[in-house]
Amino acid sequence: MDAAERRFLVWLFVAGLVAFVVLTLLIFVVGEAEGAQAPSLRPLFDALWAEEGSSSLKPADGDGGTSIGPYQIGYAYWLDARMPDGTWQDCRDKVYAERVMKRYWQRYRATTDEQRARMHNGGPRGPKRKSTLAYWRKVKARLEKDSACG
């Protein structure tokens, strides 16, 4: 193989790598934009916040210190969301924690409030677990109460 062939193969490899990165970023940006067009998640966030953190911005850590912040997010949940920035400790910040939750729900294609709440409580398979039904009932009651008031 002569030098011209090697240069061509290197160029081909680099071009393929660049195309892969561009497509990955495009998919990420489109996914974020689609999420922005979805119905407001604010009522659900507020109901989950009340249930998980008693509507406190600095609640005590839960589950023996393994769940943190206003939404009581665990380390595995944060890792599973595949955040491009921040650390698990940033889940103590309400705004960051909401971004984590959105990415987690997008990753596992949760499309309803029930799926999102049960997934938040029981992981990716939460919507199929009977153990998350009681949690969903509490969140649903808060949603219904808040919609009746507002």
Q: Which amino acid is at 66?
A: T
pTM (two decimals): 0.72
- Look-up of token digits 């507020």: 46
Q: Report in angstroms the alpha-carbon separations of 121 from 1, 9, 27, 89, 93.
A: 58, 50, 28, 19, 19
What is the pLDDT, as a whole number, of residue 37? 46
Q: What is the mean pLDDT of residues 78-106?
A: 96
Residue 33 has pLDDT above 50, yes or no: no
Q: Report in angstroms the alpha-carbon separations of 133 from 13, 114, 122, 147.
A: 50, 9, 10, 21
CA–CA dist 142, 26 (Å, integer):
37
Using one digit for the tens of pLDDT, what is the confidence trace for 85-98? 999 999 999 999 99
CA 24, chain centre distance (Å): 18
- Looking at per-residue pLDDT, the higher value among 26 and 118 belongs to 118
Mean model confidence pLDDT for the chain: 85
Q: What is the mean pLDDT of residues 4-13?
A: 74
Q: What is the 3-state secondary structure (H, E, C) of 80-132?
A: HHCCCCCCHHHHHCHHHHHHHHHHHHHHCCCCCHHHHHHHHHHCCCHHHCHHH
Assigned token pair, 61: 């850590």
